[in-house]
């Protein structure tokens, strides 16, 4: 049993109560501290998105960031002989970014640099967005938390700022979005690609949901895809369909003397509709008035800051020290899966930019051993969930909730988190956490020459459909390709 040092329940309550009596006025924006890197204005109330009608992918999300279903391009009707056109691209290097602006949307528009696609699919998706204004407004509200950071990172890398709209397509800017193929977070990383881009995925923390880490990984991935294809539309198709699939489609068209641009390649319906979704969003944001869209300004300033050199600390206490709602804290720190943050697992926490100084000032008033009220417990042979719950003053349902154990699961996990003292009282302060399962037991298969998806799926006792979803592959495989099987 590995314990996390902590106070008695009474000491914790007294400390939290003292802090809750602190001044409720909003402090001024904090100055930059040595351990803080600024990355977006006052808290935005959590949104409750209404999912679009076609919804194959979404899973349950927490009450403050509820279920979001991904837009389904496969429901779009095929367009026979559709008129397709690529406009001339702009170059990022020629854009004038010297004029200051107070509106982040305007800053975003100035960085648009990808060629425009004009096709009936773009018109179809544009019409859908315009007809679903409530959905769009809820998505725009969530966007306020994260957009400044993404735009700033894109500009650092001299990448087109249209890519900041990609989380609208992938997750509707819900960092808790989770798909049937185990894709998670704003950028919808599947486990294998997440590991390839060094996103930690374990029982405590999932970097695919972390706003800072996942954005860095997504932009790395998109840059790699662009370098592979030399075309942003093909890079986006690869992000959705898989780079090997796109490379094969390009090679096939080139061999037949056909064009190799995005609109000319054979690809699945979902991928065929993927870039038009982004184009439709770009059109709306470039000229919202023309479409009757109300686009409230977003301050062109950091919404959040990343705070490093943290200690082990309860999620609820961290929010209390920052004098902010715990729901907003979780919305900025969606990567954490348990009610206690382990500093050995996560390198930072994210706070509103105007709450960093408050957090540090309140933290200095507490001893290091007064920061946690949970500890880890490693079950022994013969332990049952009922016995463990009883020994720590919890009900079985409470033990399941805090550890993300399904009601249908009878097996005792290899690791649990339990209260240090007074289980019932500690649980009453439990924040609403959400931890989509991280697939475990996955193994890697290296494709040999002549192998097929059907043969590999049969070998491992899985379906071809699951194999394709886990790895974003098509019907044909390449020798040396690495597949993840769960």
What are phi and psi for residue 189, nearest 5 degrees?
A: -80, 130
Distance of alpha carbon 414 from alpha carbon 405, whole angstroms: 12
Locate 214 and state its tokens.
């996942």
Distance of alpha carbon 282 from alpha carbon 164, whole angstroms: 10
Contact (Cβ atoms closer than 8 angstroms) between residue 293 and residue 96:
no
183-to-38, 174, 437, 480 alpha-carbon distances in Å: 28, 12, 11, 24
DSSP state letters, 245-311: HHHHHHHHHHHTT---SGGGS---HHHHTHHHHHHHHHHHHHSGGGGT------BSS-SEEEEES--
Return the residue matching tokens 């720190």. 333
346-to-81, 214, 314, 371 alpha-carbon distances in Å: 51, 13, 13, 16
Closest CA to 215 of 182, 173, 243: 173
List 162, 170, 243, 323, catalytic entry: 170
Locate 226 and state its tokens.
């662009």
Distance of alpha carbon 74 from alpha carbon 269, whole angstroms: 5
170 in catalytic set = yes
The catalytic residue positions are 170
């Amino acid at each position: 049993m590995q314990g996390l040092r902590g106070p008695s329940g009474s000491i914790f309550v007294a400390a939290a109560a003292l802090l809750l009596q602190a001044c409720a006025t909003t402090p001024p924006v904090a100055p930059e501290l040595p351990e803080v890197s600024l990355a977006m204005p006052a808290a935005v109330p959590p949104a409750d998105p209404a999912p679009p009608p076609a919804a194959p992918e979404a899973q349950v999300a927490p009450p403050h960031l509820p279920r979001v279903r991904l837009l389904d391009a496969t429901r779009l009707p095929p367009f026979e002989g559709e008129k397709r056109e690529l406009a001339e691209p702009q170059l990022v290097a020629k854009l004038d970014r010297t004029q200051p602006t107070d509106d982040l949307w305007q800053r975003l528009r100035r960085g648009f640099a990808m060629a425009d696609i004009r096709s009936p699919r773009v018109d179809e998706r544009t019409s859908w967005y315009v007809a679903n204004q409530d959905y769009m407004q809820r998505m725009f509200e969530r966007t306020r938390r994260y957009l400044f950071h993404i735009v700033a990172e894109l500009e650092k890398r001299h990448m087109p700022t249209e890519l900041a709209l990609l989380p609208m397509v992938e997750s509707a800017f819900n960092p808790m979005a989770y798909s049937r193929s185990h894709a998670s977070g704003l950028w919808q990383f599947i486990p294998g690609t997440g590991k390839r881009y060094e996103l930690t995925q374990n029982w405590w923390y999932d970097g695919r949901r972390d706003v800072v880490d996942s954005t860095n990984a997504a932009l790395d991935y998109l840059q790699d895809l662009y370098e592979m294809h030399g075309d942003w539309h093909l890079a986006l198709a690869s992000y959705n369909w898989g780079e090997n699939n796109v490379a094969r489609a390009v090679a096939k068209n080139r061999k037949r003397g056909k064009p190799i641009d995005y609109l000319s390649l054979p690809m699945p319906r979902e991928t065929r509709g993927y870039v038009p979704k982004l184009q439709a969003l770009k059109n709306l944001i470039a000229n919202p008035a023309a479409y009757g869209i109300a686009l409230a300004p977003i301050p062109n300033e950091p919404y959040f800051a990343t705070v490093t050199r943290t200690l082990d600390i309860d999620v609820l206490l961290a929010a209390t020290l920052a004098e902010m709602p715990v729901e907003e804290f979780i919305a900025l720190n969606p990567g954490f899966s348990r009610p206690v943050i382990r500093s050995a697992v996560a390198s930072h926490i994210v706070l509103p930019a105007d709450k960093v100084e408050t957090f540090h000032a309140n933290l200095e008033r507490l001893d290091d051993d007064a920061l946690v009220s949970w500890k880890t417990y490693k079950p022994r042979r013969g332990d049952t969930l009922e016995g463990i719950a009883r020994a720590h003053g919890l009900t079985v349902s409470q033990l399941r909730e805090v550890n993300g154990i399904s009601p249908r699961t009878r097996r005792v996990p290899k690791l649990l988190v339990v209260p240090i003292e007074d289980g019932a009282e500690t649980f009453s302060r439990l924040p609403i956490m959400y931890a989509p399962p991280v697939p475990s037991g996955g193994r890697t298969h290296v494709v040999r020459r002549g192998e097929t998806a059907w043969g590999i799926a049969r070998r491992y006792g899985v379906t071809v459909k699951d194999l394709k979803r886990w790895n974003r592959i098509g019907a044909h495989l390449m020798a040396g390709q690495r597949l993840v099987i769960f």
